[in-house]
Chain A
Amino acid sequence: MYSIWWRGLMAPLAVAAVAVIAGALEGLAAALVVVAAGAVAIVAWQLWQLAALTRWARGDIEAPVPEGRGVWALAYAALYRRVRMRSARQRDLRLALDRFVSGAEALPEGVVVLDRSDRVEWANPRAEAHLGLDLERDAGAPIVNLVRQPAFISYLSRGDFSEPVVVQSTRETSTTLSIQIVPFGVEERLLMSRDITRLEAVARMRRDFIANVSHELKTPLTVLAGFIETLSDVDLDERQRQRCLALMQDQAKSMQRLVADLLALSALESEQSPAHESEFAVVPLLLAVSADAKALSAGKHEITLTIGDAANVLGGRDELASAFGNLVSNAVRYTPEGGRIALDWRVTPEGGEFSVSDNGIGIATEHIPRLTERFYRVDRSRSRATGGTGLGLAIVKHVLIRHQAELVVDSEPGKGSRFTVRLPARRVKVVREPAEQTSTSKSAAAS
C-alpha cells in the first residue's frame, strides 16, 4: 500500500521539484508552465495506461497480462496473480472433468446423453459403435432418427424405463443390444446400451439343447410305444414278433447311447480336469481304437494305423480313448463302403498328434465351425441312419479342452476329411526310438 503512494507520488513530486527550480530561476510564470505541462503529461500517461488495461480486458481471454510501468506495475502484478490462480483452478477442473469423461468413455457399456427433446448431446465410443453414431456429425440429431428400431422408438415414447428394451442392432449384424433409459438432471436422459449377443446365444443354446434332447428321445420312444401297442393288440406270428422285438431293441439301444453320451458330457462339463489323470502308454490305446473301428466297419473299409513314436501320454485314459474312438467311429460312419481310413499317431516338437483321415463325403466349409455343437448335424437323415447321437464331437471337444489339446478339422466336400487332435508337449513323453508299426486290414467284404 505504502509503495503505491510512494510510486504514485514520484511523478507529481518530480514535476513539483522542477517547477520550484524553474520558479526560482525564471519566475512564477515559468513555474506555472512547468506544472501545467507536467500535469498534462501525467494525465496523458495515466490515460494511456488505462487504455492499455481496457484493451487487454476486452481482448482475447487467453491473452497474457501486459506489463505496466510505474504505479501500474503493482496493479498489473496483482492482476497477473489473479489470472494465474484462476487458470490453475481451471486446469484442475478441466483435469477432473477429463477424468470423468475418460471414465465414461472407458465404460464397458454404451452411454449417450440425451437432451430434453431426445437429441444426442454426447456419446462414448462404445455407444457410437453399438448404435452407429458419430458424435462429430450426429451431435444435436434426434436419437430416433438414427436408432430407428420400432421397439426402441415405442420404448422411448412410452416413458416407462423400469425395464430395458432388447433390440437387434442393424449396424453390426447379429448383435443384440439391451438398451435402457435412465432419467437424470432436469428432463435429461442417459441411454445405456449393452451388448447381450453372447447372453442371448447362451440362452438360445440352452433352449435348443432341451428341444433337441426331447426330440432325440421322442423319436425312439414313439417307435417303442407303437410296437408295444402292436404287440399287445395284434396277434402276430413268431417271425413278425421277433422282428418287432429286434426293432424295439434297436430303438432302446439308441436311447441308451444318447443317455450315456449325455451323462458323459455332463460329467465332462462339471469338472475342470480329468478325474483319473495318469501316465499311460498310447500304443495299446491306439490298437484298441483301431480294433474297435475294424469291428464297427465290419470289413467295409480299409483301415490303416500308423504309429510314429511310441509314447506315454499324461491324461485321462478313458476320456482320451472315448475322444479318439468318437473320431474314428465318425470316419467309419461317414465313409462309403470301400473307402480308406487312415489313423496316424506321431510325436512332433509341439506335442502328440493323432489324426483320422478318410476319403469319405467330406464337410462343407460353413459347417466346420459348428461341428462340435451338440446335436449339430450336417445332414440329419444320414446321421441318424448311422446311429449317431449328435453328441460325439461335443464330447471330443470337452475331453480335449480338459487336456489343453485342440481339434483341427480339414475337409473338402467329396474328397474326404481329416480330424487331427493335437496334445500339448507336456502331456507326451517318447518312450523309445521310433518303431514303425503298421497294421492293415484289407477289406474282406463281399461285393
Chain B
Amino acid sequence: MNEHTYKQFDAEMEEIRSGVMAMGGLVETQLARAIASLRQPDLDQIDAVAADEQAINQMQVNIDQQCTQIIARRQPTAIDLRMVLTTVKIVNELERIGDEIKKIAYKAQQMQRPEGLSTVRLHEITRAAELAEDNLQLALDSFARLDVGAAAQVVSNDEAIDAAFLAILRQLISYMMEDPRTITPALEIVFIAKSIERIGDHAKNIVENVVHVVKGKDVRHATAEEIRAQLGQ
C-alpha cells in the first residue's frame, strides 16, 4: 500500500466518524427532548422525537454501509480495522439509545399523573435521566477525541444509574402495595426508568468500545476500579 491509499483511508474514516458524531448529536438532542417531556409533556416535542427517530435509523443504515465499503475497498488492518469495527458497534448502540428515547417520550405522553405519586418519583427519574445524559455526552466526547480519560467516570455513573433504578423500583413497589390504584402509573414509570437504565448501559458500551480501539484492551464487563487499574489512571 502506498501513502496515497493511507490518506484515502484516513479521509474516508474521518468522514464516517463525523457522521457518527452527527448521529450522536441528534441522539443527545432527542434525549434532552425526552427529559423535557418528562418534566412537562409537550406534544410537539414528542412528535419531533418520533420523526427524528426515523432519521437516526437512516443514519445507522448509511454509516453501516460506509463501513462495509471501506472494509471492502481499503482492506484495513490492525488499528484501522479495529476503528471500523468499533464504529459499527457504536452506531448500533446509538440506534438502540434512540429506540429507548422514543419509548420514554411515548410513555411520558401517556402517563397519568395522580397526585402524590408521580411528582415525587418523576423528580428522581429526571435526575437519573440527567445522569444518563451526562454519560452519553462523555461517551461521545471520548469517541470524538479518542481519549479514554472519562471511561472510568462513565462506568461509575452507570453504576449510579443502576442503583437509582433499583431504588425507584423499590419505592414504586411500596406505593403499589399501599394503593392498588397506583399500579398502572407506577408500571409506566418502571418502563421509563428501565429505558433510562438501558441508555446508561449503552453509553457504557460505547466507551468500552472506544477503550478497545484506543488502548487495544477489552474492558467489557469490568468495574470502574478495574478500568482505572487497566488504564493506569
Residue numbers of A with Cβ under 8 A of B are 132, 137-138, 141-142, 144-153, 168, 170-171, 173, 366
Q: B17 near A150 (CB under 8 angstroms)? A: no
Q: B29 near A150 (CB under 8 angstroms)? A: yes
In the bound complex, CA of A149 to CA of B140 (Å): 12
Given A137-B147, A138-B145: A144 in contact with B137 (beta carbons within 8 A): no
Query: Which of A144, A146, A152, A173 touches B141 (beta carbons < 8 Å)?
Result: A146
- Expressed in whole angstroms, the minimum distance between the Cβ of B168 and any Cβ of chain A is 18
In the bound complex, CA of A145 to CA of B25 (Å): 9
CB-CB under 8 A from A145, the residues of chain B are: 17-18, 21, 144-145
CB-CB under 8 A from B144, the residues of chain A are: 141, 145-146, 148
- Expressed in whole angstroms, the minimum distance between the Cβ of B4 and any Cβ of chain A is 19
- Scan B21-56; emit 1 where CB is below 8 A from any A CB, else 0: 110111011001000000000000000000010000
Residue numbers of B with Cβ under 8 A of A are 14, 17-18, 21-22, 24-26, 28-29, 32, 52, 123, 130, 133, 137, 140-141, 144-145, 147
Q: B141 near A168 (CB under 8 angstroms)? A: no
Q: A132 near B25 (CB under 8 angstroms)? A: no
Query: Which of A142, A149, A171 touches B25 (beta carbons < 8 Å)?
Result: A149
- Given pairs A149-B28, A168-B32, A170-B133, 7 additional interface contacts (CB within 8 A): A138-B145, A141-B144, A141-B145, A149-B29, A150-B25, A150-B26, A150-B29
Given A138-B145, A145-B144, A168-B32: A153 in contact with B14 (beta carbons within 8 A): no
In the bound complex, CA of A171 to CA of B137 (Å): 8
In the bound complex, CA of A170 to CA of B144 (Å): 15
Query: Which of B22, B130, B145 touches A148 (beta carbons < 8 Å)?
Result: B22
Among A138, A148, A173, the one with the most B-chain Cβ atoms within 10 Å of its Cβ is: A148
CB-CB under 8 A from A366, the residues of chain B are: 123
The 3 A-B residue pairs with the shortest CB-CB distance, nearest first, are: A148-B25, A145-B144, A145-B21
CB-CB under 8 A from A150, the residues of chain B are: 22, 25-26, 29, 52
Given A137-B147, A173-B130: A148 in contact with B21 (beta carbons within 8 A): yes
Give 16 pairs: A residue, B residue, CB < 8 Å, sorted on A: A138-B145, A144-B21, A144-B22, A145-B21, A145-B144, A146-B21, A148-B21, A148-B25, A148-B26, A149-B25, A149-B29, A150-B25, A150-B26, A168-B29, A168-B32, A366-B123
- Expressed in whole angstroms, the minimum distance between the Cβ of B37 and any Cβ of chain A is 14
Query: Which of A137, A147, A149 touches B145 (beta carbons < 8 Å)?
Result: A137
Given A142-B14, A146-B144: A170 in contact with B137 (beta carbons within 8 A): yes
Among B25, B137, B145, the one with the most A-chain Cβ atoms within 10 Å of its Cβ is: B25
In the bound complex, CA of A366 to CA of B18 (Å): 41
CB-CB under 8 A from B17, the residues of chain A are: 145
In the bound complex, CA of A141 to CA of B184 (Å): 48
Nearest chain-A residue to B137 (Cβ)? A170
In the bound complex, CA of A115 to CA of B123 (Å): 44
In the bound complex, CA of A122 to CA of B25 (Å): 22
In the bound complex, CA of A142 to CA of B143 (Å): 13
Query: Which of A142, A149, A151, A173 touches B18 (beta carbons < 8 Å)?
Result: A142
Nearest chain-A residue to B143 (Cβ)? A145
In the bound complex, CA of A168 to CA of B147 (Å): 25
CB-CB under 8 A from A137, the residues of chain B are: 145, 147
In the bound complex, CA of A145 to CA of B18 (Å): 6
Q: A144 near B18 (CB under 8 angstroms)? A: yes
- Expressed in whole angstroms, the minimum distance between the Cβ of A303 and any Cβ of chain B is 30
- Expressed in whole angstroms, the minimum distance between the Cβ of B24 and any Cβ of chain A is 6
CB-CB under 8 A from A171, the residues of chain B are: 137
Nearest chain-B residue to A137 (Cβ)? B145
CB-CB under 8 A from B21, the residues of chain A are: 142, 144-146, 148
- Expressed in whole angstroms, the minimum distance between the Cβ of B91 and any Cβ of chain A is 14
